[in-house]
């Protein structure tokens, strides 16, 4: 029982993220997350498209990155105006200009340009982009 009393609360904490619900395209945002597993985290803006019946295409752009300290990270960066589009984990298929609408803010530890590690924390939050 003593071991449980000495275990940090972080061990049971669920990862959570505070992000603005809306922001202008190209504006600067600050996102804070806690309850994270150790790692170097990247914040991305993105959406999934289904062009012409093809497989899903993910279009993403990096907002910023930082290393989690004591399970916490704060990232401030500029929302990208142009997103790189990928089908699967291959090379960039093209680019999409950010337009007003609802997007995902994803926070995780990257293991390739279009994917996050499944051993680190991963959080998704919606953000509405305005002109």
- Phi and psi at residue 34, in whole multiples of 5°? -140, 170
Q: Is residue 60 part of a domain?
A: yes
Answer whether residue 109 is part of any domain. yes
1 part of a folded domain: no
pTM value?
A: 0.84
Between CA 61 and CA 81 the distance in angstroms is 8
Could you tell me if residue 103 is inside a domain? yes
Asked, for residue 7, whether it belongs to a domain, the answer is: no
Q: Are 126 and 101 in contact (CB under 8 A)?
A: no
The Cβ of residue 48 has, within 10 Å, a number of other Cβ atoms equal to: 11
For residue 22, being part of any structural domain is answered with yes
Q: Phi and psi for 39 in degrees, rounded to 5?
A: 155, 170
- Number of structural domains found in the chain: 1
pLDDT in tens, the chain (131 residues): 333 333 343 344 599 999 999 999 999 999 999 999 999 999 999 998 766 656 678 899 999 999 999 999 999 999 999 999 988 777 788 899 999 999 999 999 998 776 888 889 999 999 999 99
- The parent domain of residue 62 ranges over 15-130
């Amino acid at each position: 029982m003593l071991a449980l009393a000495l275990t940090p609360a972080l061990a049971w904490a669920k990862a959570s993220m505070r992000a603005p619900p809306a922001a202008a395209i190209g504006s600067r945002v600050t996102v804070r997350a806690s309850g994270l597993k150790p790692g170097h985290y990247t914040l991305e803006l993105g959406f999934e498209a289904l062009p012409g019946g093809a497989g899903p295409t993910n279009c993403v752009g990096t907002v910023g990155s930082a290393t989690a300290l004591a399970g916490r990270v704060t990232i401030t960066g500029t929302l990208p105006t142009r997103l790189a589009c990928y089908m699967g984990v291959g090379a960039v298929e093209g680019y999409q200009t950010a337009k007003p609408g609802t997007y995902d803010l994803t926070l995780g530890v990257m293991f390739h340009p279009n994917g996050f590690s499944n051993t680190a924390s991963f959080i998704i939050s919606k953000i509405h982009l305005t002109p």
